[in-house]
Amino acid sequence: MSHNEKQYSAGAMAGIKVVDLARVLGGPYCTQILGDHGALVIKVEPPQGDETRDWGPPFHEGDASYFIGLNRNKKSIGLDLSTQKGRDVLLRLLEEADVLLENYKPGTMEKWGLGYNDVISKKFPNLIHCRISGFGSDGPMGGFPGYDAIIQAMAGWMSVNGGKDKDPTRVGIAAVDMGTGLYTCVAILMALLEREKSNQGQYIDMTLYDCAIALMHPHVSNYYLSGGKVPEITGNQHSNLAPYDKLSTKTVDIFVAAGNNPAFRKLCKELGNPELSKDSRFLNNPDRLANISDLRDELSELMKNVNGEDLCKRLLLAGIPAGPVHNTEQVMNHPHSIHRNMAAELDWYKGTGIPIKFSRTPGSINSPPPKFSEHARSILAEHGFSDAEIDSLAADRALVEERNKL
């Protein structure tokens, strides 16, 4: 949301309190969504801080862009949960909380005497406790750490992603982590909705591995329904659809998706060769898939002397999905990105806007990402701690106000 856009509501999640112990990407991405829509998100950071504060350059006042892109609309407090006093503070923060999100290694909360079954569910029966981990706590991979690229490799993503050289390649965004963050957000909303009926909280067990497998569409379906044919790398082309490909024009690379016969006929007409759609090699989608190299050669020849931007406009007007290949600068400065408020600004902060557009209760960006433990004293005061108690917690290093640099 741009800095000058009028705010209309407190947000759809107003009144929901989230205690966020998560670090790095999946959890913070989830809680930023909740914060964008009005939830109170208290980010509890370990003594060294969320490590993504160091994942730069670039930096803003010591915090890396990686951290800044995931942590707006949150308040930060540094606590050392390895100390009893730090854990006691956490339990105070959990009073009146709706959600606890953490991504510690399985067993960590239990080691600290904060396990869901033994402690959390008994002290806070209405609390929704959600854990994100790499693989879960049990099973052959239980307890092992997981990072986005490792899970991409293990869950099959790299086996279907790559270029002409067919070299398995990591997807260029952390889609496993962010996909897990989105699934986790959905799970939390479901649990909150169910709690309205049952008046009970519950434990949510989210893993990067499960979410990555769930996102392997259509490759899993193709594998099962083809009798076990293993999906391979298709580059920019689609495994089930043609033409669906990046093609070069005189001015720019474009992506075209003519997903059915009428669209393919329109495409051939717009490219000045309507007879191509009647070629026996390209009559129907299975034909086009079987002759995909010939199809690409024919379309490339028709496009090589064409202005790509103009062609995209003509194709879109004809009802055919098409678009130029943009870089990040072009995306964030595109008139449609601006129109949709997807280039956000607030004071020094610039980032992506809010993609969920409500008619009555829009989200908003009300605060930039916090400095480490920036809100510690105000958070503790709001939870009934006196100034003397806060000073004592800081002296004992249970409350951490400056990062411990590793």
- The per-residue pLDDT for range 72-90, each reduced to its tens digit, is 999 999 999 999 999 999 9
Q: Is it the case that residue 4 has pLDDT exceeding 50? A: no
What 3 state SS string does 246-311 have? Answer: EEECCCCEEEEECCCHHHHHHHHHHCCCHHHHHCHHHCCHHHHHHCHHHHHHHHHHHHCCCCHHHH
Concerning whether 50 is annotated as a catalytic residue, the answer is: no
pTM of the complete model: 0.93
| Structural domains of the chain sorted by starting position, each given as residue range(s) with its CATH number in brackets | 17-215+356-400 (3.40.50.10540), 244-332 (3.30.1540.10)
pLDDT tens column, 271-319: 999 999 999 999 999 999 999 999 999 999 999 999 999 999 999 999 9
How confident is residue 3, by pLDDT bands cut at 50, 70 and 90?
very low
Confidence of residue 164 (pLDDT cuts 50, 70, 90): confident
Give the mean pLDDT of the chain.
Answer: 95
Q: What's the pLDDT band for 9 if we cut at 50, 70, 90? A: confident
Q: CA 249 to CA 263: how far, in whole Å?
A: 20
pLDDT-derived band at 2 (thresholds 50, 70, 90) equals: very low
State yes or no: pLDDT of 42 exceeds 50: yes
Asked if pLDDT for residue 63 goes beyond 60, the answer is yes
The per-residue pLDDT for range 115-152, each reduced to its tens digit, is: 999 999 999 999 999 999 999 999 999 999 999 999 99
**What's the mean pLDDT in 356-362?**
97
Q: What percent of the chain has pLDDT over 90?
A: 95
Q: How much is the average pLDDT of 322-327? A: 96
pLDDT for 8: 52
pLDDT band for position 61 (50/70/90)?
Answer: very high
Q: Is the pLDDT of residue 406 over 90?
A: no
pLDDT reading at 384 higher than 60: yes
Q: State pLDDT tens for residues 227-274.
A: 999 999 999 999 999 999 999 999 999 999 998 999 999 999 999 999
CB-based burial label for 307 (10 Å; 0-12, 13-18, 19+) = middle
Q: Considering 177, 253, 287, 310, which one is annotated as catalytic?
A: 177
For residues 37 and 35, give the distance between their C-alpha atoms in angstroms, rounded to a whole number.
5
pLDDT at 405: 82
